[in-house]
Structure 1
């Protein structure tokens, strides 16, 4: 009996480590796949995943735009003719004047330098957003990894409850057969068993979903069917945590980089309103005189209608928004940093309390079953004790999940993985 009660512990702890074949909703097996590696190894493998590729593409895009910002405006060459095809004496081509002209624009007011600075700021933003995205991805991957492990353990718990309910049903049938219990008690035990079997099927479906989500997040096409590491057990020990500087978090740095980039774009828009000049030099062929002459000139646009005021106003408004967002991010980071340690301590206390509650529930069920087998207590007390044991086991898993969430949140604020490794 004690073995039946305590078996769930062995299964729960081995659930994430055993190479289990995947079980579908209908109970049919699916083609086996390699188990997911350890979390640290899986995170390294995801460097080629689509989620990381999106971040790298953002940086590459910013670098391309910054490289383009260095480009100077292209010159133009024009060829045109004058004084031909008209009335006498310009009816033919005898008085044609043909001009070959080279036009070279010159940017004034430091436009190119401002574009280059804005391009560099854009790269800084992309890299900061990339670092933020990698930290967020590591956080999501850790939660998905732990979610798959929790789903494994929920199946083990559900299987234990079904086995215990089956054993209780056998006892109830024996008592009914001996005339010590009414037929109603057997029906109650059967109903309880059917309910627990339904819960087991739901747990199996949840496991399939959890492993599919982990596989999709990791960027693999064939879903994982098992895990090679218990992340929950690894985080059971209290880690060494210290204060977090909220202003050094990747989220705050990304928001500040965005604000600085917008400020650079304002300079670009303001300088864009400065007119540029175009120098012109060319050669003109005078057919009537059988001569060639040089021409030269300068053109300057008149800033009468378009002074780029709308774009400047839009950029200034964007800056105000970026500054407000950066302020919000700083406030949220400070709040998260101040509560991160408290959340970890609360999760640890919750886990310890859950362990004590489980021990009490196990002893309660053990005594209730002894009493029921001896005919000293009704079936309803045994069912209530087993229900309490199931709840206590679920609380253990919920506490482990809460502890992982607290650790993952702390790691995200620190710019690290949940296992303490620094991200690139």
Structure 2
């Protein structure tokens, strides 16, 4: 049975289970089929998480553009020696000055500011690439979780159907006088437990599909899958050696460290005083004359030397360096752990498949023996319970292998199929 295919309950399922399925179908009347993983990843380019990351890039680009701006000049108009006491009672002795003032940035402020802005854009793009890798990873896990929940729901349905058949066989033997009524009650109890497990599996399936829909930002909830990502992960060639220093997470931390160092340099340059140059023309009414004037002004760095901002930026740079070291250690550990977990999970899948084959045969033989009156209902129920455990074990092992492969793909900045993330 493929987990991504829909399955309707057989007529043998009891009315309570049918009612549960009908309620679930009514709740998803407007639901849709989730496209294949690669298609869904492309279609969810405007998902809220990715939209947030793109907005951060635009913010950094705006700040970088603003960093190139030069100080605005100013123009002043001033009139002196007017409307006072004699001889300045009127405007005959007025002195009117029109002046142009411009601040000259010294110490390489503008260049350092531009470098900091460009480094901020680079860092935001690196964070965006890491965010896209993280989103592709989370989407793969959500897709796989929905598929696993669908499979568990189908296995629970199988359990109910097999329980119905076992109960029918037990009642037939009781009616024929070959089995005590207690055995039928035991089979009925086992069936009720299977029905309760089906209710839980159906609720978990609804929750898994709801989480997948929310992650992609889909307004219409998904109700089924068009592809099995567990099969896709098993068919994809194993990921080769992973370079931890090429992972998007490490590269983003490296870009953040560089941007922090550039901001520190810009703050240090801000401590250098700027010069304001002025040039103007003055009209002397009493002399009927015009004169030029010019001036230079330089602030005295007595009180404000930008020490607080420099200290804060230096601490930020130190923190970015520490985060880079942490990212390097985490990437190396994650690469080693994920590779080991993937190989272990693949071995676990092989063992689980062998155990399931044995459990299938055990249940088949137990069913034949019980119907022939050569074994008890306890042995049959135990065989069926063992089969359910091994089926779940196979699904757990496949899911663990997929998660390990997805973590390796995230470290390489690619999807589970090996395609680079755009």
Question: How far apart are residue 411 of structure 1 and its match?
Answer: 0.4
Contact persistence 1:105–1:276 (CA under 8 A): yes
Give matches, 1:102-113, under 5 Å: 102-113=100-111
1:232-381 alignment, distance < 5 Å: 232-237=230-235, 239-381=237-379
In structure 2, the partner of 1:222 is 220
Within 1, Cα distance between the matches of 2:21 and 2:265? 59
**2:4 aligned to 16, 41, 58, which one?**
16
Structure 1 residue runs of 5 or longer lacking an equivalent are 1-10
Corresponding residue of 2:132: 134
Once residues 408 and 96 of structure 1 are traced to their aligned partners in structure 2, the CA distance between those partners, rounded to angstroms, is: 81
Q: Compute the displacement of 1:174 (Å).
A: 1.8
Measured after TM superposition, the shift of residue 66 of structure 1 is 0.9
CA distance in 1, matches of 2:59, 2:86: 60
Deviations 1:203-259 (A, max 9, x none): 111111111111221221101221111111122246233211111111111111100
Aligned to 2:151: 153
Classify the secondary structure of the residue corresponding to 1:242.
coil
Cα distance between partner residues in 2 of 1:172 and 1:211: 38
Alignment correspondent of 1:4:
none
Q: Which residue of 2 aligns with 1:208?
A: 206
Instruction: Report the equivalent of 2:171.
Output: 173
CA shift, 1:24, in A, is 6.5
Aligned to 2:192: 194
Does structure 2 conserve the Cα–Cα contact (< 8 Å) formed by 1:246 and 1:337?
yes
Say if 2:133 and 2:421, in contact at 8 Å, map to a contact too.
Answer: yes
Match of 1:116, SS state, is helix
Paired residue secondary structure (1:226): strand
The two structures have a TM-score, normalised by structure 1, of 0.92
Q: Tell me, in whole angstroms, the C-alpha distance in 2 between the residues paired with 1:19 and 1:189.
A: 25
CA distance in structure 1 between the aligned counterparts of 2:292 and 2:22, rounded to whole angstroms? 86
Matched-pair contact (CA < 8 Å) for 2:279–2:295: yes
- Select 1:413's aligned residue among 411, 414, 417: 411
Cα distance, 1:341 vs. partner? Answer: 2.1
SS across alignment from 2:44: helix
* TM, length-normalised to structure 2: 0.93
Q: Structure 1, residues 14-72: CA drift from partner, whole Å, max 9, x if none?
A: x3144989x86944422244321111111111223222222222112111111111110
Do 1:17 and 1:230's aligned partners in 2 also have CA atoms closer than 8 Å? no
Q: Bigger CA drift: 137-146 or 355-364?
A: 355-364
Alpha-carbon distance between aligned partners in 1 of 2:379 and 2:7, rounded to the nearest angstrom? 38
Asked whether the equivalents of residues 36 and 226 of structure 2 are also in contact (C-alpha less than 8 Å), the reply is yes
Q: Per-residue CA shift, 1:174-193, capped at 9, x if unaligned?
A: 22222333333222222221
Instruction: Please identify, of 127-136 and 329-338, the stretch whose mean Cα deviation from structure 2 is larger.
Output: 329-338
Counterpart contact for 1:20–1:226, Cα < 8 Å: no
Tell me, yes or no, if the aligned pair for 2:239 and 2:409 is still in contact at 8 Å. no
**Matching residue of 1:185:** 183
Cα displacement string for residues 146-176 of structure 1 (whole angstroms, at most 9, x for unaligned residues): 1111111111100100000011111122222
Query: Residues 20, 304 of structure 1: CA spacing in aligned structure 2 closer, same or farther, 3 A cutoff?
Result: farther
* Residue 61 (structure 2) aligns with: 63
Taking the aligned partners of 2:8 and 2:107, their CA distance within structure 1 comes to: 69
SS in 1 for 2:278: strand
2:313 & 2:183 partners in 1: Cα distance? 76
Q: Once structures 1 and 2 are overlaid, which stretch shifts more, 208-217 or 170-179?
A: 170-179
Q: Tell me how far 1:276 sits from its aligned partner.
A: 0.3
- Cα distance in 2 for partners of 1:98, 1:218 equals 67
C-alpha separation between the residues in 2 aligned to 1:20 and 1:241? Answer: 37
**Would the alpha carbon gap of residues 20 and 278 (structure 1) be closer, same or farther in structure 2, given more than 3 Å must change?**
farther
Query: Aligned partners of 1:298 and 1:117: how far apart in 2?
Result: 29
The alpha-carbon distance between structure 1 residues 385 and 208, as it changes in their structure 2 partners (threshold 3 A), is: same
1-structure distance, mates of 2:385, 2:77: 93
Q: Is the 8 A contact 1:19 1:227 kept in 2?
A: no
Looking at structure 1, the residues matched to 279 and 112 of structure 2 have their Cα atoms a distance apart, in angstroms, of: 28
Distance 1:256 1:28 in 2: 49
Deviation at 1:106, TM superposition (A): 0.5
